[in-house]
Structure 1
Amino acid sequence: MTEAKLPIISIQNITKRYPGAPVAAVDNVSLDIMPGEFFVLLGPSGCGKTTLLRMIAGFEIPTSGTILIDGQDMAAVPPNKRPVNMVFQSYAVFPHMSVEQNVGYGLRIAGVGGDEISSRVREALELVKLDGLEKRKPDQLSGGQRQRVALARSLVMRPKVLLLDEPLSALDAKLRAQMQFELSDLQDEVGITFVTVTHDQDEALSMAGRIAVMNKGEVAQLATPSDLYEYPANRFVADFVGSVNLFEGKLTLDEPDRAAVDCPGLGKVYLNHGVTGSHGSDVWVALRPEKIYLHVPGEGKAIRAAAQDAPEDHNLARGHIKGMSYLGDITLFEIKLDSGAMIRVSRPNLSRHDQEDFTWDDRVSMHWRADSPVVLLS
């Protein structure tokens, strides 16, 4: 029998209150992070994610609760003695030092011998693809290269956990997207635990094995990227992770294999599974823009054939296009429904002429599959 892995980080009932603050920055948070995991703390500004990261690093002292790293209580362990290293948002590389001097700085402070420093610095620079740039100064490097210097400087210390505070926020959009893949590949190669803080949902979804979405000092949901997106636990997560249409309604049917919601703004919504609720309760329906099929009126038979997993007059809506944004790979439509509510629909541009199918103020119909909506109780 395979022995179960113990968490590399165990956060137990951690709370952080600042003097004079009306609410806790972090409020009774408990979660486990496993060895070798790429774990992301995601949330808006002020949600407590950076405070939690800094408590793991030892830069902030919890008001109450316990943090264990590799089974050891960190309460009496100072930051420089913890088996972690932190990459800051600003990278904090020394401008007067070369790349190799920056990377080897921590080893020199720790009293490591010169030959071992040279070997470990060379290994770290190869890992982050900076070999050949050893003699350059930070002002001779691009933003992405400076970030790699900061990563190498942390990795060379061989920590059990690498903490990253908004590591990609200073990069432009194209480089940020490239570095998301590189960070994920790097973490997989070195095999150590990465704990990253970000407010960027795309960044979190693309890199993480698991994500803790934080809101007002609490964990709103902890799940894999796909589960967060497809099965949000509440309105906050549904709205924060990705683009979504939210409509208020009443649960009119709830059986083990089917459910229905009457939404004044959207219409009758049918689901091919049960939900956790009771008949007549107030709920919210979350519907992602890419899960809505857009077509011209009059295609009813074809559309009904495609949507026959729902009863008649369910999962259908009509309206007029009031906005269009051509984004290259997709076109995003803002549609005013006959009810007066607005809905967003995204449509992939599968050919070079797709974007010409619809235009401003066109009358359109929509449908969606019975497995597409998510019903939320809060």
Structure 2
Amino acid sequence: MGSIIEFRNITKRFGAVTAVDNVSLSIEEREFFALLGPSGCGKTTLLRMLAGFETPSSGQILIDGKDVTHVPPNRRPVNMVFQNYAVFPHLSVMRNIEYGLRMEGVVAAERRARAEAALALVQLEGYGDRMPDQLSGGQRQRVALARAIVKRPRVLLLDEPLSALDAKLREELRFEMSALQDQLGITFVMVTHDQDEALALATRCAVMHKGSLMQVATPADIYEFPASRLVADFIGSVNLFEGRVETDESDHAIINLPEVGIRAWLDHGTGASGTVQIWLSVRPEKVELHKRSNNEPPPVMEGTPPGYNVLKGRIMDIAYLGSESVYDVRLEGGRRVRVIRPNLTRWDQEDFSWDEDVWLGWHAEAVHVLLQ
């Protein structure tokens, strides 16, 4: 399989504002690709240019190797599911799904057969005679999906497809959309600002900021190996520590972290020179909490010599989230660190509490080095 979509040096300006800035990007056939970023980053503009609703100021867009930069939307092999579903309120579910086929002149028998097959794919068999106001939000979203896939596009575009749904329904539909994409075997391109949604659904993600691509990678690589502090901070929650390299060998590195008054041990080299300013990224779920008393030495973290990767702190807040608990810990110098612990049993084995003095620590392999 090769690239089905190519953006070549795409720029889009609205007056003096550059919404998309010289973006080059390839999307593979059968991928579930996510354009991810905060509001105003350019992701929706990029999707609308792919759909044909906006024209680039410069650059080319190719689908299946053909330049479609100036091809109107109805002549592109794509279909789009909008954020607000755009279901016709005066038409039944069946007539909504058949609408695009009717406009193309598909005969009635084939229209009905393809619409019923699309309804079955989105698990709405038997709903064809209902009106949109008789459906739940999740069911209307399924109707919008069915209306898009019934035309058998090469590419399906999804603009914030689950944003209007409640949290539990969003989670259910994530699994359904992933299974649907796998079953259909077509390319999905989704715009979202929801990191969990992108990480759960996408085979690859592109993180955008102020019109530029910051990183394109798999969800796991985006999360575990962000390319910059901006990406690390946007994707999930992260603790960032500024430091300087003291020792940099192939099998380990020592980083001085003056802000928090410790030295960090890494189980790999950084590739940076000895005086370069760097940042260490430590995800909250990779930080451990340990009981602290005046009579006991600090814990030794896995993969490190004694005295490294350990901080003194006090628990200032605890948020119980069911599957996990989030701890806000203040270090001796005032810096705050976030820790996430899974609730593996119905009772906390160590029973941490507010205003308790603790040790914080992380393993040598838990750290990712950022140079920008």
Using the size of structure 2 for normalisation, the TM-score is: 0.97
Secondary structure at 1:8 match in 2? strand
**Equivalent AA in structure 1 for residue 195 of structure 2:** Q
* Unaligned 5+ runs, structure 2: none
Q: Does 1:158 align with 2:157?
A: no
Q: Secondary structure of the equivalent of 1:354?
A: coil
Q: 2:78: which partner in 1?
A: 84
Paired residue for 2:4? 8
Q: Which position in structure 2 is the counterpart of 1:353? A: 347
Aligned residues: 370
Q: How big is the shift at 1:376?
A: 0.6
Q: Provide the rounded CA distance (Å) in 2 between the counterparts of 1:177 and 1:264.
A: 42
CA distance in 1, matches of 2:297, 2:123: 56
Compute the displacement of 1:226 (Å): 0.4
How do residues 4-153 of structure 1 correspond to structure 2 at under 5 angstroms? 5-21=1-17, 24-153=18-147
State the match for 1:312 in structure 2: 306
Q: Is the 8 A contact 2:298 2:359 kept in 1?
A: no
Match status 1:276 vs 2:271: yes
Structure 1: tracts of 5 or more residues without a match:
none
Q: Which amino acid aligns with 2:54?
A: E
> 2:184 and 2:213 mapped to 1: Cα distance?
28
Please say if 1:198 is aligned against 2:192: yes
Q: CA deviation at 1:355?
A: 7.3
Q: Secondary structure at the match of 2:263?
A: strand
Question: How far apart, in 2, do the equivalents of 1:186 and 1:302 lie?
Answer: 51
Q: Is the 8 A contact 2:299 2:310 kept in 1?
A: no
CA contact (8 A) 1:162 1:192 kept: yes
Contact residue 42 and residue 49 of structure 1 kept, 8 A: yes
Residue 289 of structure 2 is aligned with which of 286, 294, 299? 294
How much does 1:348 deviate? 1.0
Per-residue CA shift, 1:209-234, capped at 9, x if unaligned?
00000011011000000001100010
What secondary structure does 1:17 align onto? strand
Which of 226, 233, 241 aligns to 2:235? It is 241
**RMSD (Å) for aligned C-alpha atoms:** 1.4
Does structure 1 conserve the Cα–Cα contact (< 8 Å) formed by 2:55 and 2:70?
A: no
Aligned counterparts, 1:208-247, within 5 A: 208-247=202-241
- Cα deviation, 1:305-346, whole Å, max 9, x if unaligned, reads xx2411221111111111111111111100011222110001
Q: Could you list the per-position Cα deviations for residues 133-175 of structure 1 after superposition, in whole angstroms to 9, with x for gaps in the alignment?
A: 1100000000000000000000000000000000000001111
Amino acid at match of 1:145: Q
Alignment TM-score, normalising by the size of structure 1: 0.95
**Pairwise CA distance, 1:289:** 0.6
Letter matched to residue 160 of structure 1: R
Q: Which residue of 2 aligns with 1:340?
A: 334
Letter in 2 for 1:185: A
Letter in 1 for 2:8: Q
Q: In structure 1, give the amino acid aligned to 2:192.
A: T
Q: Is 1:365–2:354 an aligned residue pair?
A: no
Sort the Cα spacing of 1:308 and 1:326 in 2 relative to 1 into closer, same or farther, 3 A.
Answer: closer
Which shifted more, 258-267 or 91-100? 258-267
Distance 1:312 1:278 in 2: 25
**Residues in 1 aligned to 2:246 and 2:350: alpha-carbon distance in whole angstroms:** 39
Give identity over the alignment, percent.
57
- What is the match of residue 178 of structure 1? 172
Distance in 1 (CA, whole Å) between partners of 2:64 and 2:351 is 58
